Structure 1
Amino acid sequence: MATIGATNCKYSCETAAQTLQWIHAIVDFLKPYSFFVNAHVVNFFKAEETPHFLFDRLWEAIDKEWIECLRKEPVENLLQIPSGAVQDHWPASLRNFILTLRSLVFPREQADLQTVLPDLNICSLSTVLAQGMNQKKKHEVEVLSAVVSSITNSVTAHTIVDVGAGQGYLAQVLSFHYQHSVIAIDASSHHGSVTDARAERIKRHYTSQMRKSELILLKSGKRSLIVPKTITCHVMSIDTLKDLTSAARVNNSGQDCDNNDTELQQSLRHGDNKTSVVLAGLHACGDLSVMMLKAFLDCKEVKAVVSIGCCYNLLSEEGFDHVNSEYGFPMSRGVKSAGLPLGKSLRDLACQSAERWRCLETDAGAHNFEMHAFRAAFQMVLNKYYPEVMTRSPSIGRQGKALRRLQKRATFDSALNHKDSTCASSHRMQSKLKESTEPERGDIFSSVSETTSLSGRDSLSGSECENANCTADNDFLFLRYSQSGLCHLGLKSLQDIELHRIWKEVEPFSEFIGLYWSLRAALGPLLETYILLDRLLFLQEQGNTIEALMLSIFDPALSPRNVAIIAKKKLERKPAVACDCARIRHYRYPGLDVKGKKYGKSKHRYDGHILAYTCTILIDGPVLAGVVF
């Protein structure tokens, strides 16, 4: 059957009223699906304290017609659901759910940036500047540096502050390629050292090139390069960021603030208060993106901001978190009154990328569904044997990657030895799962005790192996997953844990978790839209002194978190000079004279009888605004 993709968004956010209307439409859409919104997939198989395991059965809240349809769908079709792809044979109610949802999502296709920023000039980075960047980072830095440079030029700012600069890739391109004065702020002293060292290497290269060509020296008129300065500081509050942006210049060696606000303020007093600043952030994490927007409003030196957020799960939220400073969500009055709080579960969900789902290979998608089933089953282990841990909302990290490597290795060996018996194949899987004595980065499987310490059994019986090889493999994969999870949580193994029995109880229902998770993941881009619209509306609520827009600036296939919030403060207009036509006729202005003479570059002629032309005329001081001739 043909697949139909929903890509058109019928809402606009050009004005505060339009943005608020969009927000209310999202809230109205989500209300009937509270069973998705409030669900925790880790509780998919949640066990009760009874002789036999009972389940929350999260899938039973879904329309039965949807369940019967999607349980038969191939994995590749499930992976397309978050992108808004539907099949013709699906129930009309299911198609309507997915298509309506996608119509509410902010478009993620890369915008025509040249239309929005006519003077934009995106350049491919030189080998020297691109050193150390992967394809994703190179694309992001090429595009964002051009956008930030264009915005900086449009507001005639003197300095760019790169907030959450990391290893300084963006800051260095803005300095060396676009020749802007840049201050790079990051919480990691290691990142600051790396940024300085990398900048010094780039400087040596460019200096060498300039020495080889006197022509370059003569044309540029410069005998030194602009090198980004670094500040190491944890930006824990808006006041800290405001203090940082209040200083447009620091000494050439940078400043290490060590989180001491008093020391920070003292070190910045030497800054030039007349210097204007642009704040830029490439995937500034959690509340840091929010602080950038608030500092933009509160700090008079900041003339513009370009913010691309990420890590919505780390946002602080009113009513859910206890923080000393202002909350990261909600920001706007409109969202505060809309009545849709998120909580950590939904903020986590907002991080889901439809583009990443769509690009997954079928086997990788199936593996992800399997890992979700293992995590939900492991939650039952914690509920039954470690109830005290549940009060801490335990997180076991990403256990699936190492398990995936082991699974691939076993599958490859099995394919090479296809003539072996099914039972032998299963035992090879067991053998591979018990290996991994060499520790790898991010792999804690090597530190886990032997399989028998938790299961109370060495292997499956021969008859079980013959009848259900796939089940046996999953049984041991879950065993390994559980061992790793307990190790990650620092929990001691108990001899009476019946991991095999727990998995056997839930495995018949594991087929539902893929379709359930696909439908729920489709809400991710919608929730991200809700968070981003809150930030945009916060700026729009400030009145007509702020120009703000949301723009998808990256290719979503390379960088799914691609929406930038760009805001500028409108230029302040000085009061118009009171005048009359008789007085105006005796002035000559750059470009025109009301008596019909032509001056400067103006190609227009006017006489005293024309009353249809309105313009703004600059003279040595005041502005004659809206003068009508």
Structure 2
Amino acid sequence: MDQLVKRHIRFHLESHQRGNNLRKLPCLTFINNDDTFSNVFCENSKKLINVDLFALAAEYYSLSHLGVCTPLEELLKALGGDNQGSTGIKTDEFMNNKKSHEVQVMSELVDKIANYCGIKQVIDIGSGKGYLSSFLSMQYNLKVYGIDSSNTNTNGAHERNRKLKKHWRAYQSRARANPESQRLEKANDSPVQNEIKCKAVNDRTLNNSCLQSQDQRTTQDLIPSCVFTEVATSETSKQTEIDLVAQAQCNESKLSEEALAILDVLPANAVEIFSSSQCNSGELCEEEKAKRKMASIKAKASKSSESNLYFPLTSHITAETELGDIIADLEDCIMVGLHTCGDLAANTLRIFTAKPEIKAVCSVGCCYHLLSEQYENQEDCTEEVWGFPMCQYLKDKGWCCGRNARMSACLALERIAVGQMLPTDSLFYRAVLQVIIEEIYGVTKSERHVGKIFSKSSSFLDYVRKSLKKMELDDSKLPDSCIMDYYEKYKHRMNELEAFNMLKVVLAPCIEVLILLDRLCYLKEQDNIAWSGLVKLFDPVKSPRCYAVIALKKQSCF
């Protein structure tokens, strides 16, 4: 039976990958008939008897075939606006492929929503390492507050943001240098202009020591390209050179003041200390200090004229969290969350609907197994806030998934379909370990978790020993021979385990549909929502949790 199941499931996974699935199968028209499922499971034993129909029905009830999603391209088109961040820093230079893909796609959408609603502030819930927050602030000039419950993540985000700003300044310098290089190449077409250009550069190098300490790229950025074409004689060249130096000093002084004003409102260690080579005398430095202090006061008074700032904050977010207690200058904003775990995704939507300052939300959840369920233990605790269900329709029905189903929803069908098969060995090790713990130690439920021990273990014996120590169970009463006896007893059932988990993979999208539609229906039940929808943001092979719940409020947006 297990071989038959595996063969049928592999066929449907391959069909899923090729796209040769539902539309070409003749029994599609019967899927929405409840009688169909009597042919999938035995009426008496409730066991699976038709694998083909089971896989077909599961695929039919996935988000990709229900027709409830809004295409990303259509949403971007409806939001309008130009692609302000189409060029700039390349995320794949400091993020892995998965994170780079997620950040680029989601940040473009968030920027368009912010522009559509006319807002510049973003609240990133569960910001983690701050990749999305940093990119939104630098690439799209948004003021971002990243809130995470882990102080370690917040401190790491500070340091990471500092490094990203160095990358960003380098890209900006290159971007400014490229147009200048093109103008220089044009100027090279004229021998006379080329000769004059070289003379101007030599004169500047010899006669202006104050510019020698400047970074070469920065100096070129401050020099107008017209200096290479307006010089006709050496006398004119010298006069132009004097004007050029004065203009460069003026520009640099202005840039220094602006930079110092921004530094005063940036978080600690966000950027390196700015230094100027213009301070050639104590009198000049004092004058500049006074100017910078005045600029800083003005900047603070206006809550900073620069919007592209990122502030990592540490706080535990619940449905009752008052954002105004965390963010002093809270204003009209958009709330986002990239792979917010468990209840945090649900609470993000609840905060969005409750707070008038939040005009839009874009939330991608994950870790469904960490969701709290109101009816999981058949207890109706109406006073608590639960992760599932959210909408009144499922609440009225007392709907419950259970942990096993929610665990299955986390599986990645698309990855399995392209050949990234399940880790059968590690699953088998874990299953046999559970039998050992129950039979030898009498433990059926524990608050401790084994975690990722398989990758650190050299054998099944080593795996069991390390797992028992992590669970604080005495392994001295369990000899090696006993451990290996368990392994030999169950190893012939490994194929059965693989077949069972492949069935779970096929069913995973159906369970995810239930969770996501529950969140969407919750938004549809609110009176202050102008539009809400589910959008497939990411390539599911790169990022399996690829669906975003998006909503815009009526006021100010429409």
TM-score tier (shorter): 0.5 to 0.7
Match of 1:312 in 2: 368
Shift in Å, 1:527: 0.6
After TM superposition, the score normalised by the length of structure 1 is: 0.57
SS of corresponding position for 2:15 = strand
**Which residues in structure 2 correspond to 1:226-625 (within 5 Å)?**
226-240=307-321, 243-244=322-323, 246=324, 265=325, 268=327, 270-271=328-329, 275-320=331-376, 325-361=384-420, 365=422, 368-387=423-442, 389-392=443-446, 395-403=449-457, 433=458, 477-495=459-477, 497=479, 498-543=482-527, 545-571=529-555
Match of 1:176 in 2: 138
Closer/same/farther in 2, CA of residues 198 and 481 from structure 1, 3 Å limit = closer
Please identify, of 559-568 and 480-489, the stretch whose mean Cα deviation from structure 2 is larger: 480-489
Amino acid at match of 1:350: A
Amino acid at match of 1:298: A
Contact 2:117 2:556 in 1 (8 A): no
* Cα distance per residue 1:578-629 (max 9 Å; x no partner): xxxxxxxxxxxxxxxxxxxxxxxxxxxxxxxxxxxxxxxxxxxxxxxxxxxx
Contact 1:167 1:194 in 2 (8 A): yes
In structure 2, the gaps of 5 or more residues are 1-6, 24-30, 177-217, 226-250, 263-305
Contact 1:7 1:102 in 2 (8 A): no
Alpha-carbon separation, structure 2, partners of 1:399 and 1:134: 23
Closer/same/farther in 2, CA of residues 540 and 507 from structure 1, 3 Å limit = same
SS of corresponding position for 1:192 = helix
* Cα distance per residue 1:197-246 (max 9 Å; x no partner): 3333444565573755358999x9x8765443324333242222xx22x4
* Cα distance per residue 1:499-549 (max 9 Å; x no partner): 233233323333311111111222112111110000000001124743100
Contact 1:296 1:304 in 2 (8 A): yes
SS of corresponding position for 1:529 = helix
Match of 1:50 in 2: none
SS of corresponding position for 1:390 = coil
Shift in Å, 1:300: 0.3
Amino acid at match of 1:486: L
SS of corresponding position for 2:103 = helix
**Which residues in structure 2 correspond to 1:129-278 (within 5 Å)?**
130-203=92-165, 206=168, 209=173, 213=221, 226-240=307-321, 243-244=322-323, 246=324, 265=325, 268=327, 270-271=328-329, 275-278=331-334
Shift in Å, 1:127: 4.7
Amino acid at match of 1:488: K
Contact 1:106 1:529 in 2 (8 A): yes
Which of 15, 30, 34 aligns to 1:4? It is 15
Shift in Å, 1:183: 1.2
SS of corresponding position for 1:560 = coil
Match of 1:448 in 2: none
Alpha-carbon separation, structure 2, partners of 1:159 and 1:400: 43
Aligned length: 405
Alpha-carbon separation, structure 1, partners of 2:440 and 2:467: 13
Shift in Å, 1:152: 0.7
Relative to its length, the structure with more helix (as a share) is 2
Contact 2:85 2:139 in 1 (8 A): no
Amino acid at match of 1:370: D
Contact 2:122 2:335 in 1 (8 A): yes
Match of 2:189 in 1: none
Contact 1:176 1:226 in 2 (8 A): no
* Cα distance per residue 1:14-50 (max 9 Å; x no partner): xxxxxxxxxx979999999899xxxxxxxxxxxxxxx
Alpha-carbon separation, structure 2, partners of 1:111 and 1:137: 23
Amino acid at match of 2:438: N
Contact 1:540 1:546 in 2 (8 A): no
Alpha-carbon separation, structure 2, partners of 1:311 and 1:191: 18
* Cα distance per residue 1:292-325 (max 9 Å; x no partner): 1111110000000000000111111113489985
Amino acid at match of 2:15: I
Please identify, of 24-33 and 281-290, the stretch whose mean Cα deviation from structure 2 is larger: 24-33
Closer/same/farther in 2, CA of residues 34 and 317 from structure 1, 3 Å limit = farther
Question: What percentage of aligned pairs have identical amino acids?
Answer: 27
Alpha-carbon separation, structure 2, partners of 1:560 and 1:538: 23
Contact 1:378 1:482 in 2 (8 A): yes
Match of 1:53 in 2: none
SS of corresponding position for 1:296 = helix
Contact 2:154 2:314 in 1 (8 A): no
SS of corresponding position for 1:522 = helix
Match of 2:51 in 1: 94
Alpha-carbon separation, structure 2, partners of 1:122 and 1:478: 54
Amino acid at match of 2:311: T
Closer/same/farther in 2, CA of residues 282 and 26 from structure 1, 3 Å limit = farther
Contact 1:27 1:338 in 2 (8 A): no
Closer/same/farther in 2, CA of residues 114 and 384 from structure 1, 3 Å limit = closer
Which of 114, 119, 139 aligns to 2:73? It is 114
Alpha-carbon separation, structure 2, partners of 1:538 and 1:515: 36
